[in-house]
Amino acid sequence: MSEFQTHPVPANFKDAHINAEKYQAMYKRSIEDPEGFFGEMASEFLSWDQPWDSVVNYDFVKGEAAWFSGGKLNVSYNCIDRHLPERADQTALIWEGDDPADSKHITYGELKEQVCKLANVLKARGVQKGDRVCIYMPMIPEAAYAMLACTRIGAVHSIVFGGFSPEALKDRILDSDCQTVITADEGVRGGRSVPLKVNADKALQSCPNVHTCLVVERTGNDVNWVEGRDQWYHELMAGADADCAPEPMDSEDPLFILYTSGSTGKPKGVLHTTGGYLLQAAMTFKYVFDYREGEVYWCTADVGWVTGHTYIVYGPLANGAISLMFEGVPTYPDAGRCWEVVDKHQVNTFYTAPTAIRALMAVGDEPVTRSSRSSLRLLGTVGEPINPEAWEWYHRVVGDERCPIIDTWWQTETGAHMITPLPGAVDLKPGSATFPFFGVELALLNEDGSEVEGAGSGYLVVKSSWPSQIRSVYGDHQRMIDTYFSNYAGYYFTGDGATRDEDGYYWITGRVDDVLNVSGHRMGTAEVESALVLHDKIAEAAVVGFPHDIKGQGIYAYVTPMAGVEPDDDLRAELIQLCVKEIGPIAKPDIIQWAPGLPKTRSGKIMRRILRKIAENELDSLGDTSTLADPSVVDHLVANKLS
């Protein structure tokens, strides 16, 4: 699949939690005997108030799944209280502020107090078990307190990314009928303030059911105030009791709603429940990152994304780990920030997105190499296919060839990692997410729904339920069935395409609707993009198909040169040659448009559906752009469109 070399398990991972033999044996058992396997795991990883009646029941036709039914547990108890006997004074969260001079440590004991107080504040405002609470916050510890306080009393949180507009916030509040909103006066990111309360005020004009807007004072600047509805967080916390008994929840009680990032269409309110979600979050955190007692772990995601839910808060805290939460951005005050933070807090595991890696790579090695990074043991990535070029840079420059790169494939809907290397068990191939996690039974389907045998490519589907599976699309169960369970009966449809090589490794080729069909040859947009970014003058590329009279589909490439590069026709010709050499003449882009920026979701994913519309000249129907990070990018691309 790739001319890049395979990286064997590093020597310092030979004693990892899971080695190759263990992986094989545990994986086999997890598929053949899920009741036995996950029953044992649920007892090992979680504390239950009441045992379950049955481990798993599911029906993919009706889109139903239940794990540990009848079992009772509380998420905040599992993430906090049960660790207190040995960890009350151990750090739970390290908070690193936007300003490099700002940071603090929050112990498990302090976390318990803050969460209980906030839970009591919510109760006093009338929030009850099952009520939805919208969290619209910057990356400050109060965001984690808010999540955990909801779980303490059985309220269902719906986090909306703090970078979203009033419009996007309003839609999400209304869709899940949240009646309580927790926000801050302002956020701070990259040295600039983000007007959260102003945005919330605008959104709430159209949300008459919201009775409480709890406001954390982050910057202290003046904000508008609606008497009765608006309440200062610090004022209510000051009078709150620091004890709050955890509400015993049924394993299948709702835990949170989270809207997908909207790369392919209108965001869906993905509903997750309690026991199965927390189990897979906890298991994957421990095994995938090979987490060791006392290590400092840093996931750069925002809590507004599923990655922030599962791998900043729930997975790490369920394991009693030390999780770093970062308020800022990787490029502020400059492109060396991440590595400064790594040295400052002696970070052992660093988990980020390919888009961040490519952005840092485009700036050059110096901001990285001026730091030590000697504490790093493992590097992770999530969110998009990582092109082998970026993988190698991450491995060589950031990890000094010492740290395995763990490429984790999963979705908001899957709740936790699904395809990922376990660092002590799997030899790595750059660009491959490698093998399924325990309990994840995969298949690749042909167009006609038959399963691909052995090596080959197809639609990536899951054949049986896994614990942290999506339970519903909030308020629209039929949409859940239509989206995930009706394309191919009996399978969960991921919407992604993948290739399985001769060694059984999985390579995600991108979204199914991103597959190109040029003169009858099918290829993933990711393949062409990977070829384009091999060129050392190219930072990023996005490829889409467009109608072509002869070939059926032609290839339209939007290409971002490295900083300081003046693109010209020679560069264009070199890129075309590169695609021919790497993939074949069939992969020659018909059009290459220079793009100083690409339209991305707030979580950094390229929105190809918009690029497709531009390439197809359908400029009036660009669709929902409310989740775009920078809408002006689109105007630039439209103005400079080549036809």
Contacting positions for ligand ATP (CB under 6 A): 260-265, 267, 382-385, 407-412, 433, 494-496, 508, 511, 603, 605
466 is in an annotated binding site: no
Q: Which is nearer to ligand ATP, 442 or 508 (CB)?
A: 508
| The two structure tokens encoding residue 154 | 């059985």
| The two structure tokens encoding residue 593 | 């448009």
Give phi and psi for 462, each to the nearest 5: -115, 135
> Least distance to ligand ATP from the beta carbon of 70, Å?
30
Nearest in space to 92 (alpha carbons), one of 104, 107, 82: 107
264 is in an annotated binding site: no
> Least distance to ligand ATP from the beta carbon of 571, Å?
27
Nearest in space to 605 (alpha carbons), one of 308, 335, 392, 385: 385
Q: Which is nearer to ligand ATP, 141 or 524 (CB)?
A: 524
> Least distance to ligand ATP from the beta carbon of 499, Å?
12
608 is in an annotated binding site: no
Q: Which is nearer to ligand ATP, 196 or 301 (CB)?
A: 301
Q: What share of the chain is helix, strand, coil (3-state, %, to 5)?
A: 35, 25, 45
> Least distance to ligand ATP from the beta carbon of 305, Å?
6
374 is in an annotated binding site: no
| Single-letter amino acid code for the residue at 110 | E
- Which DSSP symbol is given to 600? B
411 is in an annotated binding site: yes
> Least distance to ligand ATP from the beta carbon of 102, Å?
29
90 is in an annotated binding site: no
Q: Is 473 helix (H, G, I), strand (E, B) or coil?
A: strand
Nearest in space to 184 (alpha carbons), one of 154, 155, 141: 141
CA gap 375, 614 in Å, rounded: 45
| The two structure tokens encoding residue 611 | 């690029």
> Least distance to ligand ATP from the beta carbon of 588, Å?
24
> Least distance to ligand ATP from the beta carbon of 259, Å?
8
454 is in an annotated binding site: no
| The two structure tokens encoding residue 71 | 């079992």
CA gap 56, 466 in Å, rounded: 9
> Least distance to ligand ATP from the beta carbon of 417, Å?
9
Q: Which is nearer to ligand ATP, 236 or 508 (CB)?
A: 508
408 is in an annotated binding site: yes
Alpha-helix runs per DSSP H in 265-387: 275-288, 306-308, 315-318, 337-345, 354-363, 366-369
**Residues 500 and 2: beta-carbon distance below 8 Å:** no
Q: Which is nearer to ligand ATP, 411 or 626 (CB)?
A: 411
Q: Which is nearer to ligand ATP, 158 or 231 (CB)?
A: 158
Nearest in space to 418 (alpha carbons), one of 404, 407, 405: 407
> Least distance to ligand ATP from the beta carbon of 608, Å?
10
| The two structure tokens encoding residue 577 | 């040659």
Distance, CA of 184 to chain centre: 23
Give phi and psi for 309, each to the nearest 5: -65, -55
CA gap 313, 32 in Å, rounded: 31
Q: Which is nearer to ligand ATP, 92 or 147 (CB)?
A: 147
CA gap 186, 262 in Å, rounded: 25
Residue given tokens 């005050």 in the structure block: 333
572 is in an annotated binding site: no
| The two structure tokens encoding residue 96 | 């690193």
Q: Which is nearer to ligand ATP, 336 or 458 (CB)?
A: 458
Q: Which is nearer to ligand ATP, 149 or 416 (CB)?
A: 416
308 is in an annotated binding site: no
208 is in an annotated binding site: no
Binding residues for CoA: 189-192, 307, 519
Binding residues for Mg(2+): 533, 535, 538
Binding residues for ATP: 383-385, 407-412, 496, 511, 522
Binding residues: 189-192, 307, 383-385, 407-412, 496, 511, 519, 522, 533, 535, 538
